Amino acid sequence: MEINKEEVEQRFRRSRISYNDNARVQKMVVNRMIPMILSSVKRVPEKILEIGCGTGLLTSQLQRTFSSDGLYLNDLVEELCYHAATVNRVSLTHCFPGDVEKLFLPLSFDLIASASTFQWFTTPEETFKKLSKRLEQNGVLVFSTFGKFNLREIRLTTGGGLDYRSKEELEKMLELYFKIELIEEEFYMLEFDSPLAVLQHLKKTGVNVSGDSTIWTKGRVDAFIKDYNARFAIDGKVTLTYHPLYFVCRKR
């Protein structure tokens, strides 16, 4: 699936109110990342960049952990960037809203962190190169993204969805610019009462289910429900898989 950043931006803007209450896995991912970040930094980082801050799940943890005046935020959605900054007492002058793949970053950082964002990159290798140049000597990039098996039930049912990159693909791109110190992966299997509840969950976390702009007519929804139940219903529940990947990378 080709990634349309404008569409991604619109979906996350629409889901900003419902995101935190529905982003169960994303919250667990952030909690998993903080010990990785702490063990990777040799000293308290003076300048930190968070890419894809969204509603501020990781932002609040970074602010609590480092109490830093040097925290800078980026998000594709401008109002999310400024909102996360305001809520977490980050100066609005420390916001870099926009597509980080195209954005000019005027500073260098000791730590670049990102949770559940890099799957949206359209040119990951070029972006990793760019980020490595924006790290100070011995600086680290710590991020989570989603792997090949993420939302597998959706792809098997609709035939569409985001084409997630494998751990090996990302490793190959990263090792050109970084010394990779840690790679980990996890699987979370969420249970829902119905396929319709799965659709609602994804909508509330800003995910486009099928990866296309086709209108979800009643007939299409009914077919989705029937097929999803046939494939994934167990004891009156249906499953949805999340596949987080974690990387700790030090600048070469």
Nearest to 6 by CA among 83, 100, 99: 99
Which SS3 state, helix, strand or coil, does residue 186 take? coil
Which SS3 state, helix, strand or coil, does residue 172 take? helix
Tokens coding 151: 């939302």
**For residue range 6-40, what is the model confidence (pLDDT) as tens digits?**
888 888 888 888 988 889 999 999 999 999 999 99
Residue 213 above 90 pLDDT?
Answer: no
Region 47-56: mean pLDDT is 97
Which SS3 state, helix, strand or coil, does residue 229 take? helix
Name the DSSP class of 164.
P
Contact between 192 and 24 under an 8 Å Cβ cutoff? The reply is: no
pTM summary value:
0.94
Residue 210 above 70 pLDDT?
Answer: no
pLDDT the model gives residue 128: 98
User: H-helix or E-strand containing 218?
Assistant: helix 218-232
**For residue range 162-207, what is the model confidence (pLDDT) as tens digits?**
889 999 999 999 999 999 999 999 999 999 999 999 999 999 998 8
Residue 1 above 60 pLDDT?
Answer: no
Give how far Cα 62 sits from Cα of 9, 53, 68, 79, 180, Å.
24, 11, 8, 20, 22
CA pair distance 8, 45, nearest whole angstrom: 31
In this prediction, what percent of the chain has a pLDDT beyond 70? 96
